[in-house]
Homo-oligomer: A and B are copies of this chain.
Amino acid sequence: MKKYNVAVLGATGAVGQELLSLLQERNFPAAEIKTLASARSAGKEIEVAGISYTIEAATPESFADVDIAFFCAGGSVSKELAPAAVAAGAVVIDNTSAFRMDPDVPLVVPEVNKEAIFQHKGIIANPNCSTIIMAVPLWPLHKAAGIKRIVVSTYQAVSGAGKEGMDELREQVEASCKGVEVEPKVLPVGSLPKHYPIAFNLLPHIDVFDEEGYTKEEWKMVNETHKIMDPNIAVTATTVRVPVYRCHSESVNIELERPLSPDEARQILAEAPGVKVLDDPEQMLYPQPLMLEGEDDVYVGRIRKDLSVPHGLNLWIVGDQIRKGAALNAVQIGEVLAKEGRGI
């Protein structure tokens, strides 16, 4: 199999490190792996899954000879460096929101719209974490019975705010054990003037506020679902940060065009790629975020008929935010490119 030169931009972050780990774990056909970050980290050695990498400062010149570049730094870094990477001949798999809604950029969850990958013009976007985790199990149900409307409420882990978010929860919990106070500095949104505690709390505020009183995170769930799955699905979302480390959970209510019983839904989901059904109330089995850290699949349970509409279902969906919600989905896109050898 052909091997590819790979770059990971944002290699010092939570997603970057998970991505490096996944490239090894999944035997990604990499000839070389270049680890890039801001100039501040240049020269730093990091060790991921037993392998040492030396961080290089990311510049527009970093991408000569790179075939596939995973971008896991912020949106502004992607906007600045992706054009240079593409000009140098790399395919950029971008984990930020910078290009997701660009009509020239495919937005891909491989289990849903793998073929869109090959329409890329240099950049392929990895969707928002909460959107990916919802799309993987909803897609096979949509194909089976046509989803008309989605009402989703999320329970999102602090890993969505990166290492800083995870450190902040840990710090606040440790302070509470010592009976001291610690000033919140990161959540809900690092760049905003006010910060609130997340330990023993909930923050109904992920990413900045946007039109109509919705946050950008909520709009991402609407707009990205339209782009990945189907623009005809009506979607409304409420996104909430919870004191959980790294799995996102979602309470999802769907209205379908055609009847679909919970048993039929379970059977469809049991056969769907990237999905595991964990749904046995009698045995007290249902997805729990603490139990599913590090899992690749999206887990679905609490599948019930919604008795308030003709063809409705309620589902409880849990997936690892750093893996399927970010790094794994990006690596899977890279694997499709590498396997098909097209478009690189």
Using a CB–CB distance below 8 Å, which chain A residues touch chain B? 149-151, 153, 155, 173-174, 176-178, 188, 192-194, 196-197, 200-205, 209, 212-214, 222, 234-236, 238, 240, 242-245, 249, 251, 253, 262, 281-282, 284, 286-291, 301-309, 312, 314, 316
Contacts and interface: CB of A to CB of B under 8 A. Distances in A.
9 contacts: A150-B308, A155-B155, A177-B178, A202-B242, A204-B288, A236-B253, A236-B312, A242-B242, A242-B243
Given A174-B177, A196-B288, A204 B243 contact: no
Q: Is the interface of A mostly helix, strand, loop or mixed?
A: mixed
Report copies per complex.
2
A305 B242 contact: no
Given A209-B282, A302-B204, A235 B314 contact: no
A245 B304 CA distance: 28
Q: Which of A194, A203, A213, A287 has the most CB of B within 10 A?
A: A213
A223 to B, nearest CB: 12
B205 A286 contact: yes
A207 to B, nearest CB: 12
A151 B234 CA distance: 15
Given A213-B304, A302-B204, A309 B242 contact: no
